[in-house]
Structure 1
């Protein structure tokens, strides 16, 4: 058995694998709970689709293109991260975590697209199964992505991963309650969890890249993103009292200049450090 194979075998037998199992079980318990508690299609969704406002024409095409762009951006990011993290000598298991995290972003966006289709592309901050899946897989994706930037695994890493898992469980418990009470404030823990994950992602990204520009990632993916979500809530109207211009505009900007911009910036920084500089020095 080679040295690499021996290390990987020992890793699977070590406490690392146990922590992975625990974290996965905690997260999936929450996901399963929501699957049981939340209706697949809510009466509110049916009413909105039948009698609410649909976004048509150019705005609809703009929204569709904006969301589909993710399925171009993420494969490019996966390719760059894979090569760059290999060049930077990160362990195979962390590279796998980053790849899995990036893949889950596409699962998240697919759920989001389904959610918006049921809304006839008129954004509103409601409680639906697809909306929950969007947030669940997005938090999971960024948590795995953050884990994929670790040069070594230690007790603090395990603690952070367990905190991420408990955050997912908490969000999963509160989400159906928010649906039953029709209280959007119960989505706030989702935003807190995303901010927490991005704080860890930014810190680990800085440790890896040693580039202050990493702060632009949470600035766009969290700050700009949530700013436009807030503007959507304030000025986007609702399907029965529509504000199509503001709803579509802020919706596009929240994705394009928020999450997608942050991912693109991160990918560029990783390319510069892990590929461009590596090729220059080797």
Structure 2
């Protein structure tokens, strides 16, 4: 005689429902994982596309250097925003290293030429200890700083000249600039390294690995340093490649 609960369900039916509920949770986690990976890869691909497009438009003179930097930075910011939740996951310990500690790059903001020339031409009128304004350095550390720095970045330069024994006249100018493309390139590379450490790697310059085992010429595209772990798992679960076949491929690398 089957034991039933208050709703008339047998023990076996309850177990089936429990297994079904657990399966739904697992499927939802898998779906969310895939969706996040897809978003990260799409953001990376867009950053690369924008970078290439900016380079072409700069050559033709369609945009200015500052406009190009601004467009590229927006794409890089989108990639970082997709990546940070992964690095902040409880299952990983990468957030501090990549978000706050890794060195991205250093750039210089130069004083305006006319202000420098003004200071040089009035060098004998500068107060004691004053000098011609020099470039100011911006050090970018951690992917989060890309998001936190203002756009445009502003730096003020000042020169004080004497107009009498006790009178001083300050002359100031503000320079507006954007993060250099070399720093943004470095940020994309660091983001890719973070994904590699999270075992969600990207292969820069290549398309995403196909999520199937066989190709038209009978070759196998599976390579352990380019294929994402979840894609390997999905292919095995779908029967596109057996675990034994994949282990054999690993041994052949």
The reply to whether TM is greater than 0.5 is no
For Structure 1 versus Structure 2, the TM-score category normalised by the shorter chain is 0.3 to 0.5
Work out which structure has the larger RCO, using CA pairs closer than 8 Å and 6 or more positions apart in sequence. Answer: 1
More strand by share: 2
- TM-score after normalising by structure 1: 0.31
More helix by share: 1
- TM-score after normalising by structure 2: 0.33
